[in-house]
Structure 1
């Protein structure tokens, strides 16, 4: 709600397809920048109102007979305001991103159980 309050796109945008993503499509307050199915990579760029540019990406790697998800957050601050923003939110990033990774892993496990893939 805060993002919408300050003029951002907010979380409530429709999707063309609930299962498939394509470069250029909206996903919540992100835009799909790149999808690489062969390398199991996804890169999103934030469209929320922040003093800089933010990206969030994932890569799925084979690991000890299973899979490991590598989640990467990057931020290119715009001026001193961007640096202050990043450092002010830094303590919150770890728990937010940890929870996000856990939710993604649980969803993937649930889907692989339902579909028999995995």
Structure 2
């Protein structure tokens, strides 16, 4: 979401963090916006998605899908990997880091907690 007053371009890439680089190099990634496929290929090859323009006071919903290729053999059983999707913004120059979320710092809303607390309290009292 671009809450600012200026239009900008944004970029996305993937970075291996930990675990099995063998698995990371085989995972498949599909990125879609609306009905358009923006990227389809290996997760490890997702170095930088082509710049996407985002006008002031607008947003764009991206869908990321990571798949485990069905043809991979038993040597991949039990392997895990961790990766990071990074988003950058820029105005035609070099990409810079994206600004932090506004408001609650990106924290998820506190939903369902009160009913859970009441349920636990009722069980303890009973």
Normalising by structure 1, report the TM-score.
0.30
Greater RCO (Cα-Cα under 8 Å, separation 6 or more): 2
Structure number with higher helix proportion: 1
Q: Which has the larger radius of gyration?
A: 2
